[in-house]
Structure formats: C-alpha cells, structure tokens
Structure 1
Amino acid sequence: MYLLVASALLIQLGSTLTGAWRASQPRLQFTHSELIQNGRLLTLPLVAGDLHSLLLDEDRKRLYVAMKDNLLSTSLDDITQNPRKLYWPASPDRVQECLMAGKDPELECANFLRVLQHFNQTHLYVCGTGAFNPRCSFIHTSIFLQSEHQTLFYSQTECGKGKCPYDPFQKTASAVVDGELYAGITSDFMSRDSAFFRSLGSRHVIRTEQYDSTWLQDAQFVRVAPLSETDNPEDDKVYVFFTERAQEAEGAAGKVLYSRVARVCKNDIGGQRSLVNKWSTFQKARMVCSVPGPDGLQTHFDQLQDIFILNGKDKKNPLIYGLFTTSSDILNGSAVCVYRMEDVVRAFKGNFLHKEGPQYKWAEFTGKVPYPRPGTCPSSTYGSYSSTREYPDDVIFFSRTHPLLQENVLPLGERPLLVRVGINYKFSKLLVDRVEAVDSTYDVLFIGTDSGLVLKAIHLPREHGQSQEVTLEQMQVFQHRAPVTAMTLSKKKQWLFVGSKEGVSQLALYQCELYGQACAECCLARDPYCTWDGHACSPYMPSVRRRNARHLGEDEDPLTQCVRQGAGLQVEAEQRVMLVAEGNSTYLECLPRSRHAAVTWYKQAGENSPELNQVVTGDQLVVIERGVLIRRAELSHGGVYHCQVEEHGYHWTAVTVRLAVWSSSANRVHGSLSGSSYQGAGTLPWYEDVMALIHPGNLGQHCKALGYRPPRNHRRHGDIVMMKKERGEKQKHGAGRGGGGGGRPVGRKSRSKPQQRAPRSA
C-alpha cells in the first residue's frame, strides 16, 4: 500500500512540474572536458580523500580548504598557482587508541578538519576530530607565506571538546560571532549527545540541556548564523538550522525526521538556580518544505541539507534559502524552498507545544505563559532585566520544559521554488548570487549535487506572487562525479569554488559568448549575467550606460527585445549536402544548443517551391528527438530538408540539408545538388570517390550525361555522407551545442578568450 501511495505521489509531482519551460531539463549541459576546453574551469586535484569546507579571504585573495590532516591555502585568482599546505595529523597515541576501539584507519582514525572560521583579521580558528580526540588551534594566516609545506604539532593545539565532534561522519555547523564560537555538534565519543554550544571568549561555556530529547534528538546540524531582528543590539540572536527526530510525530510509523530552526539570545548566560550554564532562551520551530497534493496530501522534503541567507537592503529581513531532500528511499527527490525572516519571527511569537506525560500526545499549551515571555532576550527596554539570571524561576522552568513552538515556518507561496524528483542525483549544496541585470534584479542559484554536477538556475516572477524556475546550465565540475561537499562564491572575482574528495574546482559564473552571435540567441539564454550590447552577447556591467537587450521574462519574446534595440533577428542556418545510395540508411542530424528547444523537420515540396511539408514517421523514415533516421533510402526521400527550432515562441531554421539519393538501377541522382559549392584542390569532381563505391564504371561520362556540371574548383571527399558547413560571420547553430568565439568583451570581464570549439558529437 505504501509503495502505491509513493508511486502516486511521484506521478503527481511529475505532473505538477510539466510545462512550457520543461523546468526539470537544464537548457545547456557541459561535460568536464568541455568546461576545461572553454577555459571556464580550473581544477586542483587533491588526494586527501575528504574535503569538508571552503573559506574565502577576499582581502588577501586567498582560499582556505579544510581537509583530512591538512589545511590548504591557495590563490583566489588561480587555485592551481602555488597552493600551500599546513600538515596537521592526529597524535600517534590517539590513532592507536582509535584503532583499538575498532574504528576505520582511513575513514575515522585521522584528523578530519570540521571547523574552519575567521577569528579576526589575522587568525583562523580551526578544529579537527583528532582520531576521536578533538583538537583546535588559532592559526596565523602568515604561516602560509613562510614555506610551502609546514606541520602543526600536538603541543600547538588545545582541547576541542564542545567545539568539534569526535566522529567525522557527524554533521556539524559553526560560526564565530563577536569572538565566541557557536557550534552545533555531537559532543561525546558515542555521538549520542547532540548539543549547541557557545565557547571561547570571556564568558562561561554554555550549552543545551544534556540528554533531553525534547531539546535535541539525533540532530544533524547544517548552519549557524547571527541575525538581527530589531535595532536594539540587546535583542540580537543566533539561529541554528538542523534536522532531528521529531518526538511530536513519532508513533507506530517509527522514526520521523523534521527540519528545524532554533534560536538563542546572544546575551544569554543561563539561569541562576535552574539551567545553570545552559541556554535559558533556546526555542525551536519546524521548517516545512512540501508540495501540496490532492485532498490536502503533502509530499514533504524532510532532510535539510544546506541553508543560504541572502541579505538585501533590509538587513533585518533577509531571505533564507533552504535545500532539502526526501528521507524516503522510495521517492528520490530534492527541493529548494525560500523563507522570509518575518515569517520565522512570527513562528517564535506563536503558541507552545506541550505534553503532559509519556502516555499523552503533544498538544497546544493552553495554560498561562509566564512573564517575561520565555525566549525573550534580557533588555533594559523590556522588563528591566539585565541578564537571564535575573529571570523568575517560573520563566526558567517553562523554558526548560517547553522549547518547541506550535506554528510551522512555511515557505514563500507555500510550495518549493524548485523541485527534482525521479532523477539519479540529489542536491547537496546551495549558493545564491543576487545579480543586477538590465531589466531587474535576479537571484541566481548554484546547486551542487551528489554526482559532481553544479546546476545554475533562476526564478522568474509570475502572476499572483508565484515564480517559475528555469535551469540555465548543468555543469560537470568533477571528472569522476564525486559528490559536492563544499561551495563558496567570490563576488569580487566572479568565481564559484566547489569542493569534493577529488579536489577543488574553480568555475566562472558565466561565459556569455557561448550563447551565440545573434541577439535572439542571447536573449533566449535568459542569463542575468549577460546582455546583447548591439554587437555581441557579452557580460553586463551595471555602471555602463548603453542600449542593452536582456533575457526573457515569462511573457516576453526575443523579437520584442531585439526590435526595440534595432538588432537583427536573423539566425543564419547551417547548410549541409548529403548523398546516400538507394536502399542504404542515413541520418539527418539537428542538435540545437538549448535542450528547451523543440525541433520540427520540414521538407520542401520542390527545389524552388516555398511550400513546406512536415516530416512525419513512415515506413522507412523515423523522426526522433534530434534528427531524422532514414532506414532504407528511396528516390522519393531526396530533396531539401529544414530543421526548424522553436523556443519560447520564437522559430528559426537551424540546419538545411540537401539530400540526394543515388539509384544504381536507374543510373541517376534524385534530389538537387545545385546548392552545393564544394571547392578543393583536386582535379576530379567531388562525388566520384563516393560513387565509385556504389556504381563502378565511367562515372564522369555518366554524370555529364545527366547534365550535372560541378564547380570549376572542386575537391575530393572520401566519406560516403558529405556535409558542408557554410557559416555566416555571426552564425552559431550546428552540431556543437557549446558554441565558440564571441564578439568583443564588453561590461563584466569575460572569463575566457573567445575561441572556436570543436562540435559536440551526437
């Protein structure tokens, strides 16, 4: 029964995602080798086998990489230039103890770096598992300038308990706020004590209640972030995002996972008689990311994988992007949901959940809530409490027994921004870049997957406050498809840095010249980083005033965009000539760059006839997605074929094929070759080498008898299927979806020199 329900949900999800944009299909796809060939990707292979986090230092133009037994520093401009390592192994005694405990020598009994934070302008604070003996250290950034390889010894480190997990497989999250480390970790050897700590600084270490499942239960921490809700600094809070077992939902079905957001006050120092050195303002609420179905049935994405907080002009109301996956093995899916900070704050002002005893169910608390309201930060403007130790005992007791809020945090539109189901990968990491384009401001999503891919997507506004996701690119940034474990973005350098166990990849955010050399092609790409400047598809620079045409919105077309600017609309078609012997098979190929484009084949009624007839599947002819397969050529198959491409209502001819069919029995060619103009240095007509394989004899006399005269300058070809590519100066369509060189670099600095790419194979 459960399998049937899951299958029905999968069908329902698939039906809700279908539409004109084919949202689950990336418009362009690039392999690892193509990205390198285009000059868009740089790779730094690493043999550490584990890469946890990446940290930018834009002022010093450095990138720090936390790995197994090593901390690496390299250049932001080119990660392959002079990388430097700090070797930090676990203590040999601790490694032996770890092995004696039955742990894996490669995957557990080493120093896996799990905390990497800027402590101040000159020092990093780094922690590692230390073979199940956590250690931390303040590391001066100048150490990487002394020599290429250095070692950090055990005596140069300090105890890392309460700052770093013992087990490298446990998910952890941390942040340094005002010189203090906030960390969500499992704080014991057996990974049973999930806790949220504050350490370092001058104040006493403080944490969540220990072994209390109403606070935290098997928590997997994702992100820690300080967020200000008001102008009063005494009201500042630190938020932590995680996934845990949901006590309020568990029953006969067994373990249920919920994604949570929790918060504490920065000035919380615990209670006086109860919750001593424990958080007295800790509260949590559920974050929901689900697809609504029929009869109110919801398909939930329960497993929180990543959080990105996007700050806008209003610093107190950022957008919170959450990346979720399904916890079920039956329905393999991923989703991105967007939340407003005001909705999160409203949930924490709602009612509390309460459970009378072990035999009772969770329900809304209907009793009297003590004053000041639990979770309120001590402030001189609210209740005149200078610290949490002055709170009344009933407030502290209520905070201890009622950490869970009733109201859920719902996403914008009460549905995901982006959904993927029924695919062979899951999302793992998320970054968002807010880009100012010609017509508006767009949030560009970069999504890492567990198969070494990076997706680049945007969402376009629609009516009634809805939005539509468009996946612009799918890029394979790692050759062996290792899961993406870390990502960071340099706004200044316009680079995306991606980490996995294979190493680090440096990817340009855009490469406008690959979209084509016509205005319509540039606008159809819908890339906010790019614009048509009147001459070429080039990066857009907001500070430069000029006439620009941008990508398409929901209800726009390239004709309108380009006509406004006076740009040409024509996209020159690729010209091909093909020859096939009667009875043989051949294939007419048409590979537009865009996978969002629909291909339709037409055949001219006659050589000079304007009438076009759509090509449909017949006895000897099969129309497939990207071409026409003629299984057994007949004389009637000869003629002129046109591959017409349609995307977002704009039609153009990508390829024109002149197909000639040679009949050995009739000693004639059916289908005009008059459009050909092959030229070469040989002395024989171009078709003689081909026809000699089909009809031996005096082919020159035979062809002259047919009245065909080859051009004065001609060339010889040894291929049975002949192709000719007559490209205009601005033509970019053809077998290669990637495209090649572009016009002059205008606006944002181009990430690679314009160059001609080899066509991609079918």
Structure 2
Amino acid sequence: MWGRLWPLLLSFLAATAVPGPSLRRPSRELDTLNLKRQWEPGLGGKAQNYSTLLLEEASARLLVGARGALYSLSANDIGDGAHKEIHWEASPEMRSKCHQKGKNNQTECFNHVRFLQRLNSTHLYACGTHAFQPLCAAIDAEAFTLPTSFEEGKEKCPYDPARGFTGLIIDGGLYTATRYEFRSTPDIRRSRHPHSLRTEETPMHWLNDAEFVFSVLVRESKASAVGDDDKVYYFFTERATEEGSGSFPQSRSSHRVARVARVCKGDLGGKKILQKKWTSFLKARLICHIPLYETLRGVCSLDADTSSRTHFYAVFTLSTQWSTLEASAICRYDLAEMQAVFAGPYMEYQDGSRRWGRYEGGVPEPRPGSCITDSLRNQGYNSSQDLPSLVLDFVKLHPLMARPVVPTRGRPLLLKRNVRYTHLTGTPVTTPAGPTYDLLFLGTADGWIHKAVVLGSGMHIIEETQVFREAQSVENLVISLLQHSLYVGASSGVIQLPLSSCLRYRSCYDCILARDPYCGWDTGTQACVTATTAANRTALIQDIERGNQGCENSRDTGPPPPLKTRSVLRGDDVLLPCDQPSNLARALWLFNGSLGLSDGQGGYRVGVDGLLVTDAQPEHSGNYGCYAEENGLRTLLASYSLSVRPATPAPAPQAPATAGAQLAPDVRLLYVLAIAALGGLCLILASSLLYVACLREGRRGRRRKYSLGRASRAGGSAVQLQTVSGQCPGEEDEGDDEEGAEGLEGSCLQIIPGEGAPAPPPPPPPPPPAELTNGLVALPSRLRRMNGNSYVLLRQSNNGVPAGPCSFAEELSRILEKRKHTQLVEQLDESSV
C-alpha cells in the first residue's frame, strides 16, 4: 500500500509543510541583548564534543562530559569562570594501539565521555570510550577528582564514540543500551546489579542493528491499583523484515523503522529458560504516519513521574534512501497507547517466508512479557523466576508486537522542510489563566534552536535562534526550571540561554502574537513580562490558542512610521524596503490606501525584504503602505510616497531663427575638429606598429643561447636558467652576436632539487661549439632533456616579448630529423631537470 501512496504523500509534504517563507531570516544578535552565556573551555582547546550533560538542580551545578575531560560548571552562569575540571585522556600507548587497529587517530582514538550520572549521594559515575577500550570510574562529586582505580567498561559503555547509546542509573543499577563490542550485536543490559540481565540472541536476535537514542524510567507503580512495576522504555531505530514494514516492497531487507521497547525494573530473569535474560522484553513499531520518516533522531518524555499523564515527543527525519531531501517531522505519543499495544497481539517469525507475521495461536498464562503484579503474587508468581517454562519460551520467540504505536491525533504535529532536527527537550508550562502547555526546544544540525508550543491544532514555532556562529550540530539540550535556562551542548562548547526573553516584544500585539506561555502583556507597566515573575499574574494578557485577541483596548499603539519620499526616473527600478518582524507574518502592500499589490502583476515584485517596482511609469506614482499581516492582525511597518519623473527634461522654449542659424556652423566646426583629431591619432598608431614590425624583422636570425649560472639556497642547491634570446625552431640561425645575461635577472628559471643533503657543485661545462655542421645551434631553444628519454618544453621570451605559438610535436620531430644527419657532441650543454 505504501508503495502506491508514497508519491502522493511526498507531494503533500512539498505543498503543505512549513507555511510561510522558506528562507530563514538571520537571528538577532543575542550578545547585545545580554541573553546568551557561553562557556569557553580550557585545556588549551584540546577538549571537544561537549555532548554529555547532567544537571543537578539541588547543587546548582551543570556537569559536562567531553572528549578527554569532565567539567563542573555553575548552573546560574556557566561562564563565570568558577568551574572545576578533570583531565581524563587516553594514554599515548592506548591511542597507538587504537590507531594500529585502523581507527582514526584524529577523532576516534580518544576518551570520549559517553555516560555521566549520579551514582549515590557522594559519587558520580562516568564511562568513556578510552580509545576503543571503555573504562568507567566513580568520581567524588564534592572534590571532583578521578579515583585511583577504574572499572572495566565493555559491558557498560560503547567502544565507538559515534555509536548510538543511552543509559540510566536506577536504584544503583546501570541500565544501558548500545553495541558494546566490535563484533557484538546491539544489546539492552543491566549491570552493577545483583541480577545482571541482557537481551536474547538465540534462536533469534531481539534487536537487529539497533541505534539507540533515548531511555526513561516511568513510575507505573505509583498509585497502581494492581501493584504494577516500574518500567524502562527504550527508543531506537533498527532494520526490520516484518510484513508492511517498508515503504517500498523491494527494500524490505534493508528498511529501518523506529521502535519502542520496554523492560520491567523488577525483572530477575528466568530460572532455567532465559537465565540472565530479560523475561519482560517487548518491542513495537513506532510510526509517524508518513512512510518516509523512519529515522528516529531524538525523544523526550514529559510527566514521567505520573504514568497517567506521561507522553513522549519524537523527532523523525527522512530515511537514508532520500538523503538528498532534508525535512523533519515531530509526533507525540501517549503512554496509554503504548500500554495498549504491549497488551495486544504478538508477531512471530515465519521460517517459510523468513519474515515476521501476525501470530494467530493461543497465548499462555500469565501473559508473556508482563511484570509481576499483585494478582500474579496471589497466584504464587512472586518473581520472574517463578514463571512457567511455556511462558518463557513464548517470550523468547515473540518479542515483537503486531500493532504499531500511532501518534496522538493520528498525524504529525509538525512537518518542517529544509531543517534536520537532531535533539529535543521540553517542559510543561502553566499559564496564569490556568491551562498548561508543552513547551519544546528543538536543536538543528546547523546550530539553531527552535522554540515551539504545542497547541490543539498542532505546533507553533515561537522563535528561531542561531546560538553558534559556526554551523555545528546540537548534540544535547537540558532545561533548568530553577535557573530558567536552557543549556545547549555541541562540539565546540556549551551555551546557556533563557527559557524566555519577553522584553524583546515591544508592543501588546507583538507579545500575544508570539504565543509564548512564559510571556504576557502587563497592562500596568505596558510591557511584555515573564508570567512567573509578574506581580499580578491575573492581569496579564495572553492568547496562546489564537494569538490575536486581548490588545483591542491597549493604549500601547505606538507612533505611526514616518512617511518616506522616493523619486525616480521613468523606466528605472526602485526598491521600497520593508523587513517583516516575524517569519510567520505575511507582507501586505497597499497602494493609495486601498489597492492591494500582488507579486508579478503590474510591474510589482513582493519579497521578504520589500517591494520592487520594475520599469517605473507615471501610473506608479502614489502612496505605498507596508503591513505585517499575521493571525488576522495588521500592523503598519513603513510608508512611502513615490513620484516617477519623465526620463528626459521638457524641451526649452524656441529661440529666434537668427540665433539658430548662428549656432549651426559652430556645431559643425566642433564635429570636424573631433574627426581630425581622431584621424591624427590613428595615423600615429599605424606608424608605431609599422616601426615595431620592421624592428622585429631585423632581429630575426639572431642566435638563441642559454647562460648557466649557479645559485645557492639553504638546505640545497639551485640552478638558474637565464634566457638570453630565442625563436621558434626551424628558422635559420645567423650571426655570432651574443648578448649578456646580466640584464635579464627577471627571466631566470630556478630548478630547485628536493630535500636532502646538498649535492656538490658540478664541474663547469666546457664551452659549447658555436654551431654544429648543419647550422643547428649547440642547444635546442625549446627542448630540454629530462630523465634521458623524454622532453619538456621551455617557453622562452625575447627581451620580454613572448615568442609565437609553436607546436610541441612539430618542434620535436624537427629536432629529431636534424639529429639524424648530425654528430652531436658527447657532453651537450644541458642540465638535468
């Protein structure tokens, strides 16, 4: 079905995604607004890739894991300079071994810190790739120093810094998901726990070349009526072969799909079957209702502490088959829908077709993959090790659910062209009026942050901010509600931004059009303020859903823009500038207060930066008004008064006939003098050209000759070839006039040998004969022997005048033909190149 529908859906994306102009406007300079704080790391610039972030609100510290280092920054101001750092680099021996294995010594053979979590009340736990030999360490949080001994990290941390990875520490146990070794399969593991567990590999792999992006603990045991267990959810992308998984039938074997998997925190593994393996592992397809959006880039969870309200936001990008296109989609998923899918029918691997199909047989009891609940305890199943072998065998062969997890509202919240989102995070914001909205921050592959609010009709992007001067991918995002800050981790460093910047909105309409749940218009101070800090929150004006009501009685209308005058000649083009304050605003131009101007009609071109009037005519004269129209609101931005003047001045009054008769001979005399002057110049030029031609004809036949000189240079020797004179071969050589080379320093060709010990100066060559018996000069003028059997053409010049064009093949044949009849001397005056 998808094979027939994908062209239609792709056309829909091209037509409907991202309303408004596709060109991105430059961001405001945040430094001048004192909104951005940037931390510049030390270590002489050696540390890179600041992608691992851990926020500790209680101590107001932001912990950063980078390449070869860890940092502890002040969460209040990361750039205050009062930070601590730990050098944790791979030794030169480890880097050398890594390089010998074929890894990149410039990017991979370092210690990339991939895991950083709070272990207990006194220590942090960090793991690094350590030049493809992972290590982990328990770090004293207060002293912020490395321990004297380390732990093996092969079971806890990926060996490859580019491999997808996610990890959590839950009640002292380490829950990680990645590919741990070069030849191993991806795996979900629990370590540092009395019951270490992992996924099954035989008779089938539960995971198929998975790339993990996110994991989260959901407290489903809170207020549970059945005594349910807490669960860990994993989000990843993997190869799939089940029926209907691919957008194209011919690509099922390599098609990648998004998945969500879960395990129970209380899982202890099986007693005889699935020993040290998960007995609660289940996975399901995660779709965004657009078949091309299959690559999962990022996930964030909201309200994970309350399972009844837990939901997830996921970022998808186009599959690799469409790498030439760039677009992103965002979907929302509710935990209740995931729970219903995991309680539904299963899939099974069918050996005949070698793919997954829906399982139609009976399901044993207790239900395979479920956690231990109060009802199961009443039946005697106190842990997973008490489950029957029939149930564990079923779990082993049926880890995949038949139904997919579909997005809330059955469609994506946002489709965005020309943008590749790499990471996202969010937080719920309660407005003064009572409703709560989800506020999301989306990081892009070129260093932008998009701030968006989730509404009933979809997502509204509040603002787009360029946070890095050089384009680089946003690797991590962390929100601090206490500090009212967003922390951005990337390759070059960490950026701190405020969650809201309400003061940049100068009018009531600007404030409500932004639809930022943090911002509201204060009627008392006539300013856009942060709702959480306002003295009287109930008096604030907000309209998050519609974004256009509440300012009708506001006194802050602002002065109208001044009227600017423009005057142009008829036939010229004129640009009337008008910069829209918002990407979502539509430019509206009115002519003389009533006539709306459209692009491409009547000589008008409407752009994002103004109105272009082409081939101005008298009918274009008048008043022009530029308006920003957004959400039904119209704001005047600029006013112009344009006048179009005739291209030539009006004719002067007629003079008397006698005056015209008197002026005519003067004009004719002027023309005659100009023609005579031009004729004289042409005559002088022709004489000069004739003289130069005669002079060159008289110089023909002059001997061609090289003068060899010695030059020295530090570290080696150099030979200078000085051109004295020359001409094309085949011409007769007459005369013995020799010109010195002293005045031709600028025409020297220096031949510089390669590095090495300087060669001893060769003996001076014997003086060459004046001519050979056939009249050929001793040294060819344009051919120099190289390596004994090949030739290189040297272009000579005659007193700075380039010689005429000569064919190299013709010149070579002539030289060889003449050498047939000539006894060449043994030591010709040549130099080896």
Instruction: Answer yes or no: same fold by TM over 0.5.
Output: yes
CA change 1:189–1:614 in 2 (3 A) is: closer
TM superposition shift of 1:641 = 2.2
Q: Does 1:370 align with 2:388?
A: no
Q: Does 1:642 align with 2:636?
A: no
CA change 1:183–1:38 in 2 (3 A) is: same
Q: Which residue number in structure 2 is paired with residue 703 of structure 1?
A: none
Question: What pairs with 1:20-99 in structure 2 (closer than 5 Å)?
Answer: 22=19, 29=25, 31=27, 34-46=29-41, 47=45, 48-82=47-81, 83-99=83-99
CA change 1:39–1:576 in 2 (3 A) is: farther
In structure 1, give the amino acid aligned to 2:423: K
Q: Which residue number in structure 2 is paired with residue 410 of structure 1?
A: 406
Q: Over residues 623-652 of structure 1, what are the superposed CA-to-partner deviations in whole Å (9 max), with x where a residue is unaligned?
A: 444422234555554443221332111223
CA change 1:59–1:588 in 2 (3 A) is: same
Q: Which residue number in structure 1 is paired with residue 482 of structure 2?
A: 492
Q: Over residues 302-342 of structure 1, what are the superposed CA-to-partner deviations in whole Å (9 max), with x where a residue is unaligned?
A: 11111111007944430111111121342432111111111
Residue 95 of structure 1 aligns to a residue whose secondary structure is helix
Q: Which residue number in structure 2 is paired with residue 572 of structure 1?
A: 559
Q: Does 1:442 align with 2:437?
A: yes
Q: Which residue number in structure 2 is paired with residue 139 of structure 1?
A: 139
Alignment partners' CA distance in 2, 1:81 and 1:11: 50
Alignment partners' CA distance in 2, 1:429 and 1:322: 9
Question: What pairs with 1:292-331 in structure 2 (closer than 5 Å)?
Answer: 299-311=291-303, 314-330=306-322, 331=325
TM superposition shift of 1:176 = 0.6
In structure 1, give the amino acid aligned to 2:580: P
CA change 1:214–1:418 in 2 (3 A) is: same
Contact 1:208-1:278 at 8 Å conserved across structures: yes
Alignment partners' CA distance in 1, 2:130 and 2:282: 32
In structure 2, give the amino acid aligned to 1:131: A
Contact 2:445-2:474 at 8 Å conserved across structures: yes
Alignment partners' CA distance in 1, 2:624 and 2:403: 62
Question: What pairs with 1:281-292 in structure 2 (closer than 5 Å)?
Answer: 281-291=280-290
Alignment partners' CA distance in 2, 1:599 and 1:234: 56
Q: TM-score, normalised by structure 1?
A: 0.77
TM superposition shift of 1:107 = 1.7
TM superposition shift of 1:50 = 1.9
TM superposition shift of 1:51 = 2.6
Q: Does 1:194 align with 2:181?
A: no
Alignment partners' CA distance in 1, 2:305 and 2:383: 32
For the aligned residue pairs, the C-alpha RMSD in angstroms reads: 2.8
Alignment partners' CA distance in 1, 2:4 and 2:361: 43
Alignment partners' CA distance in 2, 1:432 and 1:323: 12
Q: Over residues 683-718 of structure 1, what are the superposed CA-to-partner deviations in whole Å (9 max), with x where a residue is unaligned?
A: xxxxxxxxxxxxxxxxxxxxxxxxxxxxxxxxxxxx
Q: Which residue number in structure 1 is paired with residue 452 of structure 2?
A: 457
TM superposition shift of 1:432 = 1.1
Q: Which residue number in structure 2 is paired with residue 175 of structure 1?
A: 168
Alignment partners' CA distance in 2, 1:4 and 1:667: 69
Q: Which residue number in structure 2 is paired with residue 582 of structure 1?
A: 569
CA change 1:361–1:130 in 2 (3 A) is: closer
Q: Which residue number in structure 2 is paired with residue 399 of structure 1?
A: 395
TM superposition shift of 1:378 = 2.9
Contact 1:337-1:415 at 8 Å conserved across structures: yes
Q: Which residue number in structure 2 is paired with residue 598 of structure 1?
A: 586
Q: Does 1:520 align with 2:509?
A: yes
Alignment partners' CA distance in 2, 1:373 and 1:162: 30
Alignment partners' CA distance in 1, 2:4 and 2:350: 37
Once structures 1 and 2 are overlaid, which stretch shifts more, 363-372 or 281-290?
A: 363-372
Residue 210 of structure 1 aligns to a residue whose secondary structure is coil
Of 341, 348, 363, the match for 2:335: 341
CA change 1:623–1:88 in 2 (3 A) is: closer
Query: Which structure ranks higher in relative contact order (CA pairs < 8 Å, sequence separation ≥ 6)?
Result: 1
CA change 1:575–1:426 in 2 (3 A) is: same
Q: TM-score, normalised by structure 2?
A: 0.71
Contact 1:24-1:420 at 8 Å conserved across structures: no
Alignment partners' CA distance in 2, 1:426 and 1:447: 10
Contact 2:204-2:397 at 8 Å conserved across structures: no
Computing the radius of gyration from Cα coordinates, the structure with the larger value is 2
Alignment partners' CA distance in 1, 2:607 and 2:20: 21
Alignment partners' CA distance in 2, 1:379 and 1:639: 79
Alignment partners' CA distance in 1, 2:359 and 2:594: 73
TM superposition shift of 1:24 = 8.0
Provide structure 2 residue ranges, at least 5 long, that are not aligned to the other structure. Answer: 652-833
Residue 102 of structure 1 aligns to a residue whose secondary structure is coil
Alignment partners' CA distance in 2, 1:593 and 1:173: 40
Alignment partners' CA distance in 1, 2:66 and 2:195: 30
TM superposition shift of 1:275 = 1.4
In structure 1, give the amino acid aligned to 2:633: Y
Q: Does 1:473 align with 2:456?
A: no
Q: Which residue number in structure 1 is paired with residue 749 of structure 2?
A: none
Contact 1:309-1:321 at 8 Å conserved across structures: yes
Contact 1:436-1:528 at 8 Å conserved across structures: yes
TM superposition shift of 1:521 = 2.4
Q: Which residue number in structure 1 is paired with residue 195 of structure 2?
A: 204
State the percentage of identical aligned residues. Answer: 32
Q: Which residue number in structure 2 is paired with residue 235 of structure 1?
A: 229
Provide structure 1 residue ranges, at least 5 long, that are not aligned to the other structure. Answer: 145-149, 292-298, 462-466, 605-610, 669-762
CA change 1:3–1:353 in 2 (3 A) is: closer
Alignment partners' CA distance in 1, 2:156 and 2:647: 82
Q: Which residue number in structure 2 is paired with residue 354 of structure 1?
A: 348
Contact 1:222-1:307 at 8 Å conserved across structures: yes
Contact 1:198-1:206 at 8 Å conserved across structures: yes
Instruction: Count matched residues.
Output: 627
Question: What pairs with 1:420-439 in structure 2 (closer than 5 Å)?
Answer: 420-421=416-417, 423=418, 425-439=419-433
Alignment partners' CA distance in 2, 1:24 and 1:125: 47
Alignment partners' CA distance in 2, 1:597 and 1:644: 9
Residue 162 of structure 1 aligns to a residue whose secondary structure is coil
Q: Which residue number in structure 1 is paired with residue 821 of structure 2?
A: none
In structure 2, give the amino acid aligned to 1:577: K
TM superposition shift of 1:262 = 1.2
Contact 1:580-1:633 at 8 Å conserved across structures: no
Alignment partners' CA distance in 1, 2:367 and 2:538: 56
